[in-house]
Structure 1
Amino acid sequence: MERKLKPIETRKQKCGMENVENNKFIAEEPVSPSTRLLHDPAFNLHILAIMGFNSKINPHVFEQNLPHTVLKHPRFTSLMVVDKEENGKMKWVETEVDLSQHIDDDEKNIKKSNQKFVDDYVYELSKERMDMSRPLWDLHILNLKTQDAQALAVLRMHHALGDGASINSLLLACTRQTANPQLFPTIPTRSPSANKTLKAPKNLLKLVWNTLVDVFIFIATLFFLKDSQTPITPSPASESKPKRFAYRILSLQHLYSIKLATNTTINDVALGVTQAALSMYLNRSYGKRDIGSIEGQNNLPKNVRLRSCLFFNLRPAKGIQALADMMKKEKGESKWGWGNRFGYAILPLKIGMLNDPLDYVRQAKATADRKKYSYEPIFTYFLANFVIKLFGPKAAAILTNKIFSNASTCFSNVVGPRQEIEFYGHPIAFIAPTCYGQPSALMVHFQSYVDKMAVIISVDDNVIPDPNQLLDDFEKSLHLIKDAAAAATSSPGQPAIYKPYVR
């Protein structure tokens, strides 16, 4: 299946910079240390955002609107270049954009209107790294019907363009509420009081202690502490292998009912469902290895160490309104200070066949609450920048790769709009973001939208050959936990009686 976009015609400029083509240069901006890290082959991250629509897509409408919205942001109209005259420093250099090199709507490639075609199409995209001779993004329009949408658009971009929060805000600034096209979507925000507990004197000792312990575990993971060998342990050089993507649309109301019953957060519930699903998947995988195993019994080894890496955005996003205002200007703002300013933390996952499904959520809450009293993400951010400045981005990429390889998975939960929205007049059915280029064999994303929660997994199919079966485990786990929450709410203090869930 040929996935190449049309080749760009180029002519080198005599400016001492690699990958700089026959373009008009408008402005220059140095590349941040974190962004340089994301371009090393050992940690070369790309973002894929799969958007489902409730109607067919008109490619010409997209082409007409992009120059007045997304392309007003300089990251989407810039080349990342290496300046030989300044010891190989990397810079963002603005250029003119030829949309024919970035939008692929070739309907001849569309053979069948089914989910397998979509899965294979996106899988092929993950085999490619972005072409450095043009701005680091492209858009693929698939006017085919699936179970969840009438058409799909796949936006691919390099993570160097910005962190998840910034990119999410930028794209949402291009949308409007379906019920009221004059209004931007609204996103639930964290209560200002959420961080007040960190400033309470009684919690200072807890903050210091948790940070010291987390930093010690982080350094130990960097050098020798590995997760247990399991059926989802990353294979060597997993970061360079293509990823298989799969998603499942769940009910956000189900997560919300669990949240109310357990007095937790949606993030706690998502993490609890992840722990339950991975326990279910691993238990079945171990059972297949053991010839004498019985279906339904506990086949898991004792004390399985399984951890997840979480990215933390360390600066506030610009916000939807601020980015919308930027797009109204003639050339947008050139100094937004975006880049990638993030840290990461290592999150332990509880793996086991628990009698009470609600315990997965309770344990997730305990883990998440503890991480709120830790400056581990800030430490990892400054450590990465220190290594980049002292030894260069390649050394930082190798160390980051080591962390993500020694921890088995990645996890993310993104809050989406409360209202139904439209993108250039096309009503959106769902949003499903994911990544490729990471060393992990499994990355899990949760993305809410109106009353839906999308679960998206990115897997190395040499390690996890059955991603849809893993998604079945997510769906089954959610229903088991929801039923347990309903039983506990209706009969406090009484053991819950569970009915088998059949999809």
Structure 2
Amino acid sequence: MDGFYIVVTMGLGTPINLPAFRVGIETRLARYQRFRSIQVTRDDNKPRWVHARTLNLDDHIVVVPSRPEVASSDPDKVVEDYVAALSTSPMDRSRPLWEFHLLDFPTSDATSTVVIRVHHSLADGMSLLTLLMASTRSAADPSRLPAMPAQPARSGNIYVRPRPLRSAGSLAFLAWLWSFFVLAWHTVVDVTLFVATIAFLRDPHTLFKRAEVVRGYAGELPRPKRFVNRSLSLGDVKIIKDAMNCTVNDVLVGITSAALSRYYFRRSGDTNTRKICLRSILLVNIRPTTSQQAYVDMIQSGNSSAVKWGNQLGYIILPFHIAIYEDPLEYVRRAKTIVDRKKSSLEVVFTHMLGEVIIKTLGVKAAGVIFHRMISHTSISFSNMIGPAEQVEFYGHPVVSIAPTVYGPPEALTVHYQSYSNTIKVILAVDEEHFPDRGQLLDDFTESLRIIKDSASRNQL
């Protein structure tokens, strides 16, 4: 995936202490082999990681000059413009592909801002976040690592261990047999649809999808992206979760469906509230659910070689329904039904294995073309990541907010959720020409959460 980058925007609670940042990066981040390496292609056209001869931190730390006019203008817009410009700015492939951009002026919710840009070949979102968390300390007690929330238990047929057959009665045996039949059937259906999506199956053109078909991948001109975010109450999300007896992810899928529906019917003026099905690519971390805290501990203890860097992801094609429901909770009910159905499938395992096979047999460029084609045949990308459960400090700077996102995929809209302490950020990466009213789209997420939460609260009375 030649042009696939992760961008993490961190709001800080103090001005930037440049010497402290340099020391922190040099002693904690830059010591890892993956962040001191570059990819080179030999005669067999297979890229390999090669240790860089030198690592000059000045090549990786970009200090953005503070201009007096920023304070009197719109500093939030200045940060947004700066990060958007990164989406069309190439990185120098002769050195390790990571950068820290330091913007030392106040915005509406932070005293200063750090923007981290990393090529996706170095790490996926989960492993990068783990590395960043290993570089932080608890704000309450800087001598210890931050507390990470307990990872949710994974449920569904894919995670259930079958009981020994010799101890099972006839009914239990039939139930066991049926569960495997359902798992196999759902897997066949999902894998068939996944392959069909790569080959020919496309989403309809709506407000959320570019009208044009991108013909190439490696030679494609970069499309400018805008990255905007909004803080939501994690407590409100949990109120809905408890009232609906579902997971936080179910709630977030439901809120996303509700927000996209509000946006669609307002902007299109369509009075036909029929259900429209859009599909998203959901990125799934296939590491064990306990790995994030374990990896943080490994990095801290100096055993970072045991951490699985790179990309350990599978993909799921997740439908989103664009519709108007009289009961706002219907968005969450339908989301839970869809997500539960996907848990009874080996689609994520298959897609991960398929990606590995394609890379090993056809090469990275061919894998990039196939991935690009799959993305361009769907409408949006979606992910949800869990962050620290308490306030943290990053190289001595209190962290106010964390907003990761990506650019490079051809979709016009990418939706990420990132939890941190008692908040959850919704981060949108949008084609700036396709979504000139991206602020209104963010408002739809806020309003959808409020309406669904109020409805859930009334149902509990």
TM-score calculated relative to the size of structure 2: 0.89
Q: 1:478/1:144 Cα in 2 relative to 1: closer, same or farther (>3 Å)?
A: same
Is 2:384 the partner of 1:413? yes
Q: 1:111/1:216 Cα in 2 relative to 1: closer, same or farther (>3 Å)?
A: farther
Which residue in 2 is equivalent to 1:345?
A: 316
Which residue in 2 is equivalent to 1:255?
A: 237
Q: 1:259/1:127 Cα in 2 relative to 1: closer, same or farther (>3 Å)?
A: same
Q: Which amino acid aligns with 2:386?
A: V
Q: Which amino acid aligns with 1:359?
A: E
CA separation in 1, counterparts of 2:340 and 2:249? 11
Is 2:98 the partner of 1:122? no
8 A contact 1:243–1:460 mirrored in 2: yes
Which residue in 2 is equivalent to 1:374?
A: 345
Which residue in 1 is equivalent to 2:202?
A: 226
Is 2:160 the partner of 1:198? yes
Is 2:45 the partner of 1:88? yes
8 A contact 2:148–2:388 mirrored in 1: yes
Cα deviation per residue 1:23-43 (whole Å; 9 max; x = unaligned)? xxxxxxxxxxxxxxx22xxxx
Q: 1:192/1:303 Cα in 2 relative to 1: closer, same or farther (>3 Å)?
A: closer
Which residue in 2 is equivalent to 1:501?
A: none
Which residue in 2 is equivalent to 1:363?
A: 334
Which of 278, 298, 301 is the equivalent residue of 1:306? 278
Q: Which amino acid aligns with 1:94?
A: H
Secondary structure at 2:458's aligned position in 1? Answer: helix
CA separation in 1, counterparts of 2:11 and 2:61? 17
Deviation at 1:314, TM superposition (A): 2.3
Deviation at 1:383, TM superposition (A): 1.9
Which residue in 1 is equivalent to 2:70?
A: 112
Q: 1:480/1:148 Cα in 2 relative to 1: closer, same or farther (>3 Å)?
A: same
Question: Which runs of no fewer than 5 residues in structure 2 stay unpaired?
Answer: 163-175, 215-219
8 A contact 1:104–1:141 mirrored in 2: yes
Q: Percent identity?
A: 41
Deviation at 1:110, TM superposition (A): 7.3
Question: Which runs of no fewer than 5 residues in structure 1 stay unpaired?
Answer: 1-37, 291-297, 491-503
Q: 1:239/1:474 Cα in 2 relative to 1: closer, same or farther (>3 Å)?
A: farther
CA separation in 2, counterparts of 1:64 and 1:228? 51
Q: 1:364/1:395 Cα in 2 relative to 1: closer, same or farther (>3 Å)?
A: same
Matched residues, number: 435
Is 2:60 the partner of 1:102? yes
Q: 1:390/1:80 Cα in 2 relative to 1: closer, same or farther (>3 Å)?
A: closer
Q: Which amino acid aligns with 2:149?
A: P
Which residue in 1 is equivalent to 2:23?
A: 64
Which residue in 1 is equivalent to 2:287?
A: 315
Aligned Cα RMSD in Å? Answer: 2.1
Which residue in 2 is equivalent to 1:12?
A: none
Q: Which moved more, 1:337-346 or 1:71-80?
A: 337-346
Q: Which amino acid aligns with 2:37?
A: S
CA separation in 2, counterparts of 1:173 and 1:335? 14
Question: Equivalences for 1:177-188 in 2 at 5 Å?
Answer: 177-188=138-149
Which residue in 2 is equivalent to 1:270?
A: 252
Q: 1:110/1:374 Cα in 2 relative to 1: closer, same or farther (>3 Å)?
A: farther
8 A contact 2:155–2:343 mirrored in 1: no
8 A contact 1:169–1:318 mirrored in 2: no
Deviation at 1:240, TM superposition (A): 2.9
Deviation at 1:445, TM superposition (A): 0.5
Q: Which amino acid aligns with 1:100?
A: D
Q: 1:361/1:333 Cα in 2 relative to 1: closer, same or farther (>3 Å)?
A: closer
Q: 1:273/1:323 Cα in 2 relative to 1: closer, same or farther (>3 Å)?
A: closer
Which of 170, 176, 186 is the equivalent residue of 2:137? 176
Which residue in 1 is equivalent to 2:6?
A: 47
Q: Which moved more, 1:313-322 or 1:177-186?
A: 313-322
Is 2:191 the partner of 1:215? yes
Which of 422, 437, 461 is the equivalent residue of 1:451? 422
Which residue in 2 is equivalent to 1:460?
A: 431
CA separation in 2, counterparts of 1:151 and 1:222? 42
CA separation in 1, counterparts of 2:242 and 2:120? 35
Which residue in 2 is equivalent to 1:79?
A: 38
Deviation at 1:426, TM superposition (A): 0.8
Secondary structure at 2:256's aligned position in 1? Answer: helix
